[in-house]
Structure 1
Amino acid sequence: MKNLWITLFVTFLAVQSGVAVFNPPDQFWYHVQYNDKYYEWDSATGDSVPKMYDRFRKRKHVEELDDLPVLKHKFGPPPDIPEFYHFSQKWDACEDVFNDKNVNEGSCDASWAILPASMLSDRLCIESNGSKTSRLSAEDILACCSECATEQNDCGGGVVQKVFQFWMGQGIVSGAHYNKSEGCMPYSKSSFVDQKSSKCELRCTNPKFRTSYKRDKHFGSLSYRLPNDELQIQVEIIKHGPVVAEMTVYEDLLYYSEGVYEHVVGEKIGTEVVKIIGWNSQESVTAQTDDDRVNYWTVVTSWGDEWGRNGVFKIVRGTNQCGIESKVRAGRRFPWLDKDEYLEIRAPPSPRSAERRSLLVAPIWFIIMPVINSVVLI
């Protein structure tokens, strides 16, 4: 009802003033300044907003594939979920890996590569009990996963499910963020500045890195979706680490500063891949009583530290706000499941679809892939 009231009010103002319902930034600022008691979040503007808006406007949007198996956690009694949770508090051995500052895609529209690589890096460390601390390279995905990108220059958007296929089939080398000489293939100046990924040459671009491109590949064995269910997502994060989600982006999100975001006004301008790292709740600023609280997810973007709270924001939890709970994906290095987990496999696809057939054979193939690689390397 709150959003409906605000929308009607904004529409009324627009009609009276003869301007569009959303005309950033002036019209939006007017609504925020005089109606902030109806919002759970504060807004701000910065130099990055026009660039972000233009990037969404130019992006070639494609419908994400949605045929990964669904992983479900089995419950007896409802699990005991803490009110506050941040994934880094559980795995001390991975503290350095989790301290992943300045997640910034620069001029490249690369959240579809950067945040899956970041999530898989977290999980690589978690599954190895801290023995594998490499950050996986988004640049390797941008440059060498030709099927992932929706445009030829790889900086115009991409498909997350294809990234998981690339990770399981060809592997991902190590690599840090832009301007950091770490790993085999750090994020390149070409991607960060020139909006065009580097060429795929199957070699490490960091001259200080002493391992070959082929030997540095990290492979996965399992990728899946999670149900559109708050509890299922929470249990997954507690047990296995962060997840990535695809959410709808409306114009007002670009002006987010702090607080718990909920879409209020503005048109849909696209979708974005983000990483969910935890949750909490806080006192509601719009409630009638002090006891009312608003639940939220803690979410990482690839928009850099000038946006939001150092690139991190809060979004309303448990209502599938902006679709953030309906397309949650994750992956693991090893194929086996816990005893209280199971995969819900969809009906076999058409024989004509080689792409979908690959999803069925991938888990089996990538169990033996590390063995084959070790034999070849010896």
Structure 2
Amino acid sequence: MSRVFILLSIVLVSIYQTEQAHFLTDDYINQINNEATTWKAGKNFHSDTPVEYFKSMLGSKGVGSSSNGPVKTADPNYENIQYIPRTFDARKKWKNCQTVGHIRDQGQCGSCWAHSTTSAFSDRLCIATDGKFNQLLSVDQLTFCCYYCGFQCLGGWPIQAWRYFKHHGIVTGGDYGTHEGCKPYRVPPSNDYKRTSIMVSTQPDLIDPATVTESPELSTTTEQEPEEKHSCKHECDGDTSISYKDNIFYTRDAYHLTPAMIQKDVLAYGPVEASFKVYDDFINYKSGVYVKTENATYMGAGHSVKLIGWGVERGVPYWLMVNSWNYHWGDWGTFKIRRGTNECEIEDSVTGGVPLTY
């Protein structure tokens, strides 16, 4: 009897997963393209990928949390900003900072909150030092050492990440599979989709389709080998020639931004973190300015990304964002989302911090 119950449970779970992943079907993508007027949808993942895979990557608990403070409303450096440009792209403004346009891969881990904040901090350090610092900071350290930030791969609060930078600092650390920096990322990229391998270019105008090669078709299964237990060790395990204690970088503060202050803060210091509610149509984003379609379903969680600019496309104002789902997703790993209407609560959920330089 128990075996029958177990088999029935497996069947029911399988049916549930299939039903919940309806947003990956061709019919749903066509429906989006019939409804959406400002953006285009397309396939980013295999149609049989279960919804649990996507939920595992949605780890921001910072949506709409600016009311919890502290909220930054003024800064002496804002006074030097004479006007807000109609279009702005941090990759073009600070071309010598290679981290600004770098697309990372968080794998099947809800560490988006750590990717976006460390990435923005890396950019800000490069900008503040006029390119003398030009490295990635350690997502791994933040994810697995900041115990008050949240729950590691089960999500966290971006504002707490900035507080961690202020009080404890962060070391350098490159992508998975590298030995770059003190503590590289240890969570492997997910292997349940066909990944495109790209010769990395940090500037949007320099991505040449001729350099893109596709890897062999990978398995559609979402099963992965169990990850090793991630412990927090205050020592370098990437480039072991680096001294951990001499490789720590800090911010002087941690803050939320009001919608009116976002552009000024980016112009003054560089990219910031932004969180938003994720709906199932967003998974299929390919190009244009994302606006939630009428029939989209809330995925039940938030996502954290890096805000690097803004502009207007076909009369629609947008924010320019860098995601952490690899270059295969969206518009070479980036996307645009409508600006000025608090789309998916994104304008209520922006955080930052100013680097300390010595």
Shorter-chain-normalised TM-score: which range?
0.7 to 0.9
Aligned-residue identity in percent:
29
Structure 2 counterpart of 1:25, one-letter code: L
The 1-side partners of 2:228 and 2:259 are apart by 35
TM-score in terms of structure 1 length? 0.71
The 1-side partners of 2:227 and 2:282 are apart by 23
CA drift of 1:23 comes to 3.7
Stretch moving more, 216-225 or 83-92: 83-92
Q: Once the two structures are superposed, what CA deviation does each residue of 1:69-116 show, in whole Å capped at 9, x if it has no partner?
A: 22124789x952222111133335x3333342x311112221110110
Say if 1:97 and 1:224 are closer, same or farther in 2 by CA, change over 3 A. Answer: same
Q: CA contact under 8 A between 1:260 and 1:315: conserved in structure 2?
A: yes
Is structure 2 residue 276 aligned with structure 1 residue 242? no
Which of 180, 183, 188 pairs up with 1:182? 180
CA drift of 1:308 comes to 0.2
Structure 1 counterpart of 2:251, one-letter code: G
Which of 215, 236, 242 pairs up with 2:246? 215
The 2-side partners of 1:53 and 1:226 are apart by 32
Structure 2 counterpart of 1:324, one-letter code: I
Residue 137 of structure 2 is matched in structure 1 by 136
The 1-side partners of 2:37 and 2:21 are apart by 16
Q: CA contact under 8 A between 1:127 and 1:333: conserved in structure 2?
A: yes
Stretch moving more, 190-199 or 260-269: 190-199
Say if 1:96 and 1:197 are closer, same or farther in 2 by CA, change over 3 A. Answer: farther
Which of 251, 257, 266 pairs up with 2:296? 266
Which of 292, 299, 303 pairs up with 2:321? 299
Is structure 2 residue 202 aligned with structure 1 residue 199? no
CA drift of 1:131 comes to 2.0
Residue 97 of structure 2 is matched in structure 1 by 95
Residue 310 of structure 1 is matched in structure 2 by 332
Which of 306, 313, 334 pairs up with 1:282? 313
Which residues of structure 1 form unaligned runs of 5+?
Answer: 1-19, 284-292, 336-369, 371-378
CA drift of 1:196 comes to 6.2
CA drift of 1:236 comes to 1.4
Structure 1 counterpart of 2:232, one-letter code: C
Residue 361 of structure 1 is matched in structure 2 by none
Stretch moving more, 219-228 or 197-206: 197-206
The 1-side partners of 2:277 and 2:340 are apart by 16
Query: Whose relative contact order is higher, 1 or 2, with alpha carbons under 8 Å and at least 6 apart?
Result: 2
Say if 1:294 and 1:117 are closer, same or farther in 2 by CA, change over 3 A. Answer: same
SS of aligned partner of 2:286? strand
Structure 1 counterpart of 2:278, one-letter code: V
Structure 1 counterpart of 2:233, one-letter code: E
CA drift of 1:50 comes to 5.9
Q: Once the two structures are superposed, what CA deviation does each residue of 1:161-218 show, in whole Å capped at 9, x if it has no partner?
A: 2211221121111001112221001111468675566311211111x34122222111
Structure 2 counterpart of 1:70, one-letter code: V
The 2-side partners of 1:258 and 1:128 are apart by 34
SS of aligned partner of 1:28? helix
Residue 15 of structure 1 is matched in structure 2 by none
The 2-side partners of 1:125 and 1:63 are apart by 25
The 1-side partners of 2:189 and 2:230 are apart by 7
The 2-side partners of 1:186 and 1:118 are apart by 13
The 2-side partners of 1:218 and 1:143 are apart by 17
Say if 1:32 and 1:62 are closer, same or farther in 2 by CA, change over 3 A. Answer: closer
SS of aligned partner of 1:165? helix
The 2-side partners of 1:71 and 1:256 are apart by 32
What pairs with 1:150-189 in structure 2 (closer than 5 Å)? Answer: 150=151, 154-189=152-187
The 2-side partners of 1:317 and 1:86 are apart by 15
Which residues of structure 2 form unaligned runs of 5+?
Answer: 1-18, 191-223
Structure 1 counterpart of 2:71, one-letter code: V
Say if 1:80 and 1:160 are closer, same or farther in 2 by CA, change over 3 A. Answer: same
The 1-side partners of 2:37 and 2:20 are apart by 17
Q: CA contact under 8 A between 1:119 and 1:243: conserved in structure 2?
A: yes
Say if 1:203 and 1:302 are closer, same or farther in 2 by CA, change over 3 A. Answer: same
Residue 84 of structure 2 is matched in structure 1 by 81
Say if 1:52 and 1:146 are closer, same or farther in 2 by CA, change over 3 A. Answer: farther
Q: CA contact under 8 A between 2:62 and 2:349: conserved in structure 1?
A: no
Larger Rg: 1
The 2-side partners of 1:91 and 1:55 are apart by 35
Structure 2 counterpart of 1:29, one-letter code: I
RMSD over equivalenced CA pairs, Å: 3.0
TM-score in terms of structure 2 length? 0.74
Say if 1:51 and 1:124 are closer, same or farther in 2 by CA, change over 3 A. Answer: farther
CA drift of 1:28 comes to 1.6
Structure 1 counterpart of 2:277, one-letter code: T
Residue 256 of structure 2 is matched in structure 1 by 225
Which of 31, 42, 45 pairs up with 1:44? 42
The 2-side partners of 1:60 and 1:294 are apart by 28
Structure 2 counterpart of 1:252, one-letter code: D
Residue 15 of structure 2 is matched in structure 1 by none
Say if 1:21 and 1:128 are closer, same or farther in 2 by CA, change over 3 A. Answer: closer
Say if 1:120 and 1:48 are closer, same or farther in 2 by CA, change over 3 A. Answer: farther
